[in-house]
Structure 1
Amino acid sequence: MNIKKHIPNIITLLNLACGCIAIIFISDFKFDLALYFVCLGIFFDFFDGFFARLFKVSSPLGLQLDSLADMVTSGVVPGFAMVYMISGEYTHVPIQGYLPYLGFIITLGACYRLANFNIDTRQTDSFIGLPTPANALFILSLPLVMADNQNTQFVEILFNKWTLIGISIVSAYIMNAEIPLFSLKVKDFTFKKNALQILFLATSVLFLLLFRYLGIPMIIIFYVLLSVVNNMINKK
């Protein structure tokens, strides 16, 4: 029995397990623990591919498992979190009716993005549209931004139901938009070829140190904007 060929799939299933646990924490209003488990799931998501390439055991099964696990951790979880945020339960001002279900627009957008990613040959070395893990981090950070922020007016604007629905729609769009985004993969250790990645990582650390949880959505927005600027420079 070749144990090596099963290691990447086991790591992928750990990603899925993290997503399932995150759902439980969201239903119990423990958004901080949900975010931590999503981060752990994303960690596993990175290393399943790493070990598949290392052991040369990439397979169609692994590809399908990876997408299914991502669908839960980076698709269902952020959509579920958004439903709770729109519902107002977290802010103790519950909204009645079916309006909160619009949060699942995020899940639908993630599903389409993951299915398209599997058949899009252009996304081998970079991304087109925001990757679902990055989007999940953006969404899961929002309730923690609210809890961590002392500016009442800012919180009221951000957690207005229509603002959250707007974020859901933009989130689904940006995951599937025809916007090339640079990859964080390091192919060699020369500064010149990795200057963009180094700039992004250094800025990300700075954002986290200065703004704590607010730094997470700022990092995602910066990633998209930096990619757009980089695309414009490359075209010239």
Structure 2
Amino acid sequence: MNIKKHIPNLITLLNLFCGCIALVFVSKDQFEMAFFFVCLGIFLDFFDGFFARLFKVSGPLGLQLDSLADMVTSGVVPGFVMFKMMSSSSAAMSEGYLQFFPYLGFIITLGSCFRLAKFNIDTRQTDSFIGLPTPANALFILSLRLVLDYYSADSLMVFEILTEKWVLLVVTLLSAYILNAEIPLFSLKIKKFSFKDNALQIIFLLLSLMLLVFFQYLGIPLLIIFYVLLSVVTNKWLKK
């Protein structure tokens, strides 16, 4: 029995396990713990592919398992978090059609599902991404809820923005769109030990570290927005 060939799939299943735990914490409104387990799942998601390549055991089973695990950790969890945020914003609107409003948060889950299915058959995304990867989108959505917890006491504007149901709906729709948009995003992989060949990646990583140090949870959504905008600007500059 070749144990090595099962290690990547075991790591993928641990990613799925983290996603399931995160869902339990979201249901209990313990969003910081949910964020931790999503981060752990994303960390494991990186290493399942690493070990699959290391042991030369990549295959269609691992590809399908990876997407199914990501569907929970980076698809269902952020949709559930947005559902929770919308439920809080619509607490005083329990009658009529608005009682169903929070369920629109699961549009994020639908967009994530479509994104993952498309990724599996898209041969253009071997070295870079087209559309925002689901893990990055999950971190974006969960970090918004943590921003609400940690910054709303100091800023009424933050509280009003992140508890306004129509703002949350716009964020949800933009999230589902950017996941599947035909926007090439530069790869963060460093393949050659040369500053010239990796200047964009190195500069981005240094700026990312500064954002996280100075802004903490708020730095995460700012970082992801910056990543998308920088990719758009870079693509236009390369076309000239």
TM bucket (normalised to shorter chain) is over 0.9
Q: How many percent identity over aligned positions?
A: 70
Alignment-mate amino acid for residue 55 of structure 1: F
Would you say the 8 A contact 2:131–2:181 is kept in 1?
A: yes
CA RMSD of aligned residues (A): 1.1
Gapped runs of 5+ residues in structure 1? none
Q: Secondary structure at the match of 1:98?
A: helix
Alignment-mate amino acid for residue 59 of structure 2: S
Q: Structure 1: which 4+ aligned runs deviate by more than 2 Å?
A: 91-96
Q: Secondary structure at the match of 1:123?
A: coil
Would you say the 8 A contact 1:87–1:95 is kept in 2?
A: no
Do residues 60 (structure 1) and 69 (structure 2) align? no
Would you say the 8 A contact 1:87–1:94 is kept in 2?
A: no
Task: Measure the CA separation in 1 of the matches of 2:27 and 2:180.
Answer: 28
Once the two structures are overlaid, the 10-residue window that deviates more, 151-160 or 98-107, is 151-160
The aligned counterpart of 1:118 is 120
The aligned counterpart of 1:203 is 207
The alignment's TM-score, normalised by the length of structure 2, stands at: 0.95
Task: Measure the CA separation in 2 of the matches of 1:131 and 1:2.
Answer: 32
Q: Secondary structure at the match of 1:11?
A: helix
CA drift of 1:200 comes to: 1.2
Gapped runs of 5+ residues in structure 2? none
**Length, aligned pairs only:** 234
Task: Measure the CA separation in 2 of the matches of 1:94 and 1:190.
Answer: 57
Task: Measure the CA separation in 2 of the matches of 1:44 and 1:95.
Answer: 40
Task: Measure the CA separation in 2 of the matches of 1:141 and 1:94.
Answer: 25
Alignment-mate amino acid for residue 17 of structure 1: F
Do residues 46 (structure 1) and 46 (structure 2) align? yes
Would you say the 8 A contact 1:86–1:95 is kept in 2?
A: no
CA drift of 1:185 comes to: 1.3
CA drift of 1:95 comes to: 4.4
Task: Measure the CA separation in 2 of the matches of 1:117 and 1:40.
Answer: 22
Task: Measure the CA separation in 2 of the matches of 1:94 and 1:59.
Answer: 50
CA drift of 1:153 comes to: 2.0
The aligned counterpart of 1:76 is 76
Task: Measure the CA separation in 2 of the matches of 1:109 and 1:184.
Answer: 23
Task: Measure the CA separation in 2 of the matches of 1:159 and 1:95.
Answer: 13
The alignment's TM-score, normalised by the length of structure 1, stands at: 0.97
CA drift of 1:207 comes to: 0.6
